[in-house]
Homo-oligomer: A and B are copies of this chain.
Amino acid sequence: MLKRYLLAPGPTQVPPEVLLAMATPVIHHRAPEFADLFGRVRNDLKTVFQTAQDVLILASSGTGAMEGAVSNFLSPGDKAIVINGGKFGERWGKLCQTFGVHVVEIKVEWGQEVDPQLVHEALRKDPSIKAGYVQASETSTGIAHDIKALAELVRERDETILVVDAITALGVFDIPTDAWALDVVVAGSQKAFMLPPGLAFVSVSEKAWRLAEKAKNSAFYFNFKKERDAQAKNQTAYTPAVSMIVGLEAVLRMMKAEGLQNMFARQRRLAHAMREAVQAAGLSLFTKGRPSDALTVIAAPPGIDGQAVYKQLREQYGITAAGGQDHLKGKIFRLSHMGYVDTFDVIMGMAAVEMVLKDLGYPIRLGQGVGKAQELLCASAQKAG
């Protein structure tokens, strides 16, 4: 018997009340009942995105919305800055290339954050740059780029937008779309939104919509203008993922009950405890600089293969976490604590990491990292803090 636990940076755990909601009979997407539901979730999504703009809901993974965030705003031959400090930064580059966009790449060492000064200089050097593409939380390395600082760089430029992949950021930590003047913000269902994969969300600023008017790329399924017009009437251009929308309503109800800032505080507290626990156990964090609260990226200790850790976690302990990608394969392993997570997800994750390392022959004192997490997360410490 092997119980299964999900501590991967997506998909994440889905609360029972959401699973239950999604298991109710499918309603028809052109029935008034659906339009009412869609109106309610559209409204509540604005709160979560902290925007007065409409938030489009797409039946796709986050990458679909990322594609639309290139194809809807830029034309072949346009120039865009891509901040590439990981697997998902790289993806922005590939998307731009696919749509004939000329990429001004700012390469960042994996695990580090981008220096806004470099972006500032790249922008100043070339007034024709139409967009900057960046991750608020780079899931492959655990870094959180300084979105607020980057947004300030494009804020005053009428013809330049900042496009933020907030797939593992939105709902985890504070990304106030309107307050920071973020032009396009992309999120996905299977992260802090506590849903299965299958929905993407995207907010679009007025400036970005103006760019969209002039863009000459082809977009059919991910045609944001068409979706905007349909969704304004609580309809969708194409068949929506109905049960996912039903689940989304349940999620938004939970988020409202907890409150956005409390939600951020909970995940910050868990992430902090996990990072401290890892270090108390004598291990090293891979991420240097501003860590994303969505996940903890741990450097494989000397002599230990990070993939073996990932594999042992899954096969011996039933825990699905994540290994490293590309050149980080074997060098790191990643545990998430975003969405539907609490104290015991962190304690379980830390306990399992200690046990796996012991299994693999690494000298570790069992309970040391866990003890630190307990210390930081016990109710009395929280009250005192």
> Which residues in A have some Cβ–Cβ distance to B below 8 Å?
1-3, 5, 23, 254, 257-258, 262-263, 266, 312, 316-318, 340-344, 347-348, 351-352, 354-356, 358-359, 365-368, 370-372, 374-375, 377-380
Is B375's CB under 8 angstroms from A340's CB? no
Query: Interface SS of chain A: helix, strand, loop or mixed?
Result: helix
Which chain B positions have C-beta within 8 A of A375? 366
Instruction: Find the residue from A258, A262, A266, A375 having the highest chain B CB count within 10 A.
Output: A375
Is A378's CB under 8 angstroms from B355's CB? Answer: yes
Nearest to A342 among chain B residues (CB) is B3
* Min CB gap A385→B, angstroms: 13
Instruction: Please name all residues of chain B whose beta carbon is closer than 8 Å to the beta carbon of A1 when the two chains form the complex.
Output: 254, 257-258, 262-263, 266, 340, 342
* A380–B365 touching, CB < 8 Å: no
| Contact call A358/B378, Cβ cutoff below 8 A | yes
Contact in complex: A379, B355 (CB < 8 Å): yes
A266 partner residues in chain B, CB cutoff 8 A: 1
Given A342-B2, A342-B318, check contact A380 B367 (CB 8 Å): no
Nearest-neighbor residue (CB-CB) of A258 within chain B: B1
CB pair A340–B377 under 8 Å, yes or no, is no
CA distance A5 to B316 in the complex (A): 22
Residues of B within 8 A of A372 (CB): 367
Interface centre among A312, A356, A366 (most CB of B within 10 A): A366
List of B residues within 8 angstroms of A254 by Cβ:
1
Contact between chains at A367 and B374 (CB < 8 Å): yes
A30: min CB distance to chain B, Å? 27
Contact B312 A379, beta carbon cutoff 8 Å:
yes
B365 near A378 (CB under 8 angstroms)? no
- Give the Cβ gap from A130 to chain B, nearest Cβ, in Å: 41
What residue in chain B is nearest A259 (Cβ atoms)?
B1
25 sampled A-B residue pairs with Cβ under 8 A: A1-B257, A1-B258, A1-B262, A1-B342, A2-B342, A3-B340, A5-B344, A23-B23, A312-B379, A316-B379, A344-B351, A347-B351, A351-B370, A351-B374, A355-B377, A355-B378, A356-B379, A359-B379, A359-B380, A367-B367, A367-B368, A367-B372, A367-B374, A370-B374, A371-B371
Partner of A317, one of B3, B351, B379: B379
Which residues from B are CB-within-8-Å of A366?
Answer: 371, 374-375, 378
Q: Which of A5, A348, A377, A379 has the most CB of B within 10 A?
A: A379
Closest to A348 in B: B344
| B-chain residues with CB within 8 Å of residue A379 when the two chains form the complex | 312, 316-317, 355-356, 359
Please give the distance in Å from A345's CB to the nearest CB on chain B: 8
CB distance from A123 to the nearest CB of B (A): 40
Inter-chain CA distance A380–B363, complex, in Å, is: 13
**Bound form: Cα–Cα A262–B2 in Å:** 12
Note all chain B residues with C-beta closer than 8 A to A380: 358-359
Whole-angstrom distance between the Cβ of A378 and the nearest chain B Cβ: 4
Bound complex: CA of A1 vs CA of B255, how far in Å? 9
Inter-chain CA distance A3–B194, complex, in Å, is 13
Indicate the member of A317, A340, A352, A371 with the most B CB atoms within 10 Å: A371
Residues on B with C-beta less than 8 A from A367 are 367-368, 370-372, 374
Closest to A315 in B: B379
